[in-house]
């Protein structure tokens, strides 16, 4: 795909997203809201152009489903864990700052992984090194080095699920090669 | 449904009260911001719960505005709080 | 049918409210800023989603449900931004208590060239 065509594809995706938000805000799927939303999206994208975030990947529905299901499970489990820590009186929870070097350090993959990690209670992105693709995560309730390693593996598994859901073919190949 | 409404309201109020204590006690600006964020989340939940109990959607646009703009306060304070002023809070009282 | 939906909605609302209570308790009990931030994530994500789900199950109107979906999406898109900004500022200000950290791989990474 040529760079210019990729650029237009990015803009089309952004315009589609903005139109969807507009329609959802109105809450009615009529031609008027759809055309109006498309017009507003074009104006917004012309007046406030986005920095070029190239998205070379393809969305894999099965991967998205697997990612979403596992994310929901993680969310519930982690919420229960942090809640039970809150109600365990007389116990001071220990934590750790863990470096996680990602396998596929693309901008989008880094961002999505960081968002997913932050949304789950009990883990928090303290610092992100974009050049080297390293996330520094603060984790609550880690007792020892083995717990830290287990968490690092969890984040890498999460990254693999995200790449398999949203990644480009090259990224999907890169993440499959070294089995962890 | 009335029993549920009373239960949910008192749980939310208790959570908001505890967050408010943290806002007052601090000790640093960032602690207060985190507690204020929790307070905001509780307020959003309270508005949504009210809409659910009364089956009345009047409050929902407030939720949209809060969910878009609610994080700007925390971001701007974190951005413009210098490391010195964040750490200058007394570290003994926690 | 609507009775079942109401029961599910009530359960969602109660669990969401419980999460906000536990966040309040954790906010008071946890020892340092970064631990408290973990507690804050709970009502902002799972609690909000559950309450919005309960709200949607009670209202059952397509216009209101789309608004609730938007609230959920915006909430989940913005919460990590605020959490990251506050967490980074707090870490740089030295507010992660090092006596409670098992390892700190960011501190050792800074020393590397």
pLDDT per residue over A40-52, tens digit each? Answer: 998 988 888 777 6
Q: For C64, which of B60, B75, B84 is closest by C-beta distance?
A: B60
- Chain C within 8 Å of A149 (Cβ-Cβ)? no
Q: For A97, which of C22, C76, C106 is closest by C-beta distance?
A: C106
Domain boundaries, chain C: 2-111
> Taking all residues of chain A, what is their mean pLDDT, rounded to a whole number?
81
Which site among C2, C5, C40, C81 would you substitute to test the B interface, given the most B Cβ atoms closer than 10 Å to its Cβ? C40
pLDDT value at C110 more than 60: no
* A77/chain C closest Cα distance in angstroms: 11
Q: Check CB contact under 8 Å for B41 and C10.
A: no
Structure confidence at residue B92 (pLDDT): 41
Exposure string for C36-66, b = 16+ CB within 10 A, e = fewer? bbbbbbbbbbbbbbbbbbbbbbbbeeeebbb
* C84/chain A closest Cα distance in angstroms: 6
pLDDT per residue over A53-87, tens digit each? Answer: 666 677 788 888 988 998 888 888 888 888 888 88
**CA nearest B85 in C: which residue?**
C93
Structure confidence at residue B90 (pLDDT): 47
Cα torsion at A82, A83, A88, A94 (round to 10°)?
20
Task: Match 């890498």 to its residue by tokens.
Answer: A156
Identify the residue with better confidence: A104 or C37: C37
Question: Contact partners of B by the rule of 3+ C-beta pairs under 8 A?
Answer: C
pLDDT value at A123 more than 70: yes
pLDDT per residue over C54-101, tens digit each? Answer: 888 888 888 888 888 888 888 888 888 888 888 888 887 777 676 667
Structure confidence at residue B13 (pLDDT): 92
Question: Interface pTM (ipTM) of the complex?
Answer: 0.81
- Is residue A88 within 8 Å of residue A105, measured between CB atoms? no
Rounded CA-CA distance A164/A62 in Å is 9
No. of helices (H) and no. of strands (E), chain B? 4, 0
Average pLDDT over residues B48-66: 87
Q: Check CB contact under 8 Å for C32 and B94.
A: yes
Q: Which whole-number Å values give the CA distances from A160 to A64, A109, A171, A173, C30, in the listed order?
A: 12, 10, 10, 11, 32
């Amino acid at each position: 795909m040529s760079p210019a065509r990729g650029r237009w594809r990015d803009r089309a995706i952004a315009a589609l997203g903005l139109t969807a938000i507009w329609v959802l805000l109105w809450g009615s799927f009529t031609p008027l809201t759809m055309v109006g939303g498309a017009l507003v999206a074009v104006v917004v994208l012309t007046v406030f152009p986005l920095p070029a975030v190239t998205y070379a990947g393809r969305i894999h529905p099965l991967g998205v489903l697997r990612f979403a299901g596992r994310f929901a499970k993680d969310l519930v489990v982690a919420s229960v864990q942090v809640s039970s820590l809150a109600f365990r009186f007389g116990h001071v929870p220990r934590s750790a700052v863990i470096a996680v070097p990602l396998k596929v350090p693309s901008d989008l993959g880094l961002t999505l992984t960081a968002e997913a990690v932050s949304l789950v209670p009990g883990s928090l992105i303290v610092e992100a090194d974009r050049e080297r693709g390293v996330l520094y995560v603060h984790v609550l309730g880690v007792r020892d080095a083995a717990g830290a390693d287990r968490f690092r593996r969890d984040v890498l598994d999460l990254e693999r699920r995200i790449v398999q859901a949203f990644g480009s073919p090259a990224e999907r190949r890169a993440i499959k090669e070294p089995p962890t | 449904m009335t029993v549920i409404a009373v239960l949910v309201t008192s749980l939310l109020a208790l959570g908001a009260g505890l967050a408010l204590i943290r806002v007052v006690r601090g000790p640093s600006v960032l602690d207060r911001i985190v507690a204020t964020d929790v307070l905001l989340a509780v307020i959003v939940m309270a508005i949504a719960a009210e809409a659910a109990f009364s089956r009345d959607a009047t409050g929902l646009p407030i939720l949209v505005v809060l969910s878009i703009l609610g994080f700007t306060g925390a971001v701007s304070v974190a951005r413009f709080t210098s490391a010195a002023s964040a750490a200058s809070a007394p570290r003994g009282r926690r | 049918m609507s009775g079942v939906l109401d029961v599910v909605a009530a359960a969602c609302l109660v669990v969401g409210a419980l999460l906000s209570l536990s966040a309040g308790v954790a906010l008071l009990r946890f020892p340092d800023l970064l631990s408290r931030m973990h507690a804050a994530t709970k009502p902002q994500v799972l609690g909000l989603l559950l309450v919005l789900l309960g709200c949607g199950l009670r209202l059952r109107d397509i216009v209101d449900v789309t608004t609730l979906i938007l609230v959920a999406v915006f909430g989940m898109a913005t919460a990590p931004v605020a959490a990251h900004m506050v967490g980074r500022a707090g870490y740089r200000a030295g507010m992660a208590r090092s006596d409670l950290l098992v390892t700190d791989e960011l501190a050792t990474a800074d020393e590397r060239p």
